Amino acid sequence: VTAINGNFRLMGVIGDPIKQARTPDNINPIFEARGAAMVCIPLNIPAAHLATVWAGLKGVKNLAGFGVTLPHKQSALALCDSLDPLAERVGAVNVVRREADGGFRGYQFDGLGFVNGLRTEGHDPAGREALMVGAGGAAMAIAFALVEAGVTRLAIANRTMEKARDIADQVNRVTGSEIAVAERAEPKPGQLLVNATSLGLNPDDALPFDPALIDDTMTVAEVIAKPEETRLLALARDRGAKVHSGIHMIRGQAQLIADHLIAVGS
């Protein structure tokens, strides 16, 4: 980031730990390229101090907003002055923006960022069948976004089946979609396969899909951004599938979040 001066507006990213946060290095170049006098900085905030820091951030008048990462995505819901409907439906906030009236409004960009990344990389999910493994916070956001993006079918598999059922019920209730729960993560030809679990963060993690069932008609997409190429993606690539790293979810979000924060108060 070049020459920060008193005209700059701040974006924070709150989380604990925070060292892994990729938002600052992805969003600062976008602020600079857009000519926005804004800078994004990581803030390591333990859960026990969240409410105190939150109240303090209200008083920082040149704070445009902040990203919210683990473990604060759910607890942030109750602290926001208002919620965008998507954040309310997903049940998690990952961006807070100071609105023109000074209030902190919670938004949710995880799923939108995932789909934006897919589109940017030439893997538009519209008109495709998708099979997703995982039923945590990221999976909920992605399920909403894939339905919105026009997948023809979506099935969700997860180690804990009730959580997959909860996501399907919630998304179906709100959108009228017909997401199904899959007892096993068995890929079918032509599908978009999504790993929305945390499997792959460590090199010796189990694989979310059996690579023997992956072929060159499929696209395999990750939420894991570090490593940029997980073992799953390397094996899928070997089998001729198109692969899509979790880094594109971060980049896809960074574009949307930068636009969103620049839009107020500039």
CA-CA-CA-CA dihedral for 5, 98, 52, 61, to nearest 10: 40
Establish whether 58 is a catalytic residue. Answer: no
The binding track of 202-241 with respect to ligand NDP, each residue x by CB under 6 A or -, is ----x----------------xxx----------------
The answer to whether 38 touches 11, Cβ cutoff 8 Å, is yes
From the CB of 100, what's the least distance to ligand NDP, in Å?
28
Which region among 1-9, 82-90, 167-175, 247-255 touches ligand NDP (by CB under 6 A)? 247-255
Out of 38, 93, 139, 214, name the contact with ligand NDP by CB under 6 A: 139
Nearest to 191 by CA among 153, 164, 223: 153
What DSSP element (H or E) covers 246? none
Which region among 38-46, 124-132, 154-162, 255-263 touches ligand NDP (by CB under 6 A)? 154-162
Using alpha carbons, list the distances in angstroms from residue 197 to 102, 145, 165.
36, 16, 15
The binding track of 109-138 with respect to ligand NDP, each residue x by CB under 6 A or -, is -x-----------------------xxxxx
CA angle 152, 236, 162 (to 5 degrees): 55
Which C-beta is closer to ligand NDP: that of 65 or that of 208?
A: 208
Give the residues across from 19 on adjacent strands: none
Say how far residue 214 (Cα) sits from the centre of its chain. 24
Which positions lie near ligand NDP, rule CB under 6 A?
Answer: 110, 134-139, 158-160, 163, 197-199, 201, 206, 223-225, 246, 249-250, 253
Annotated active-site positions, please? 73
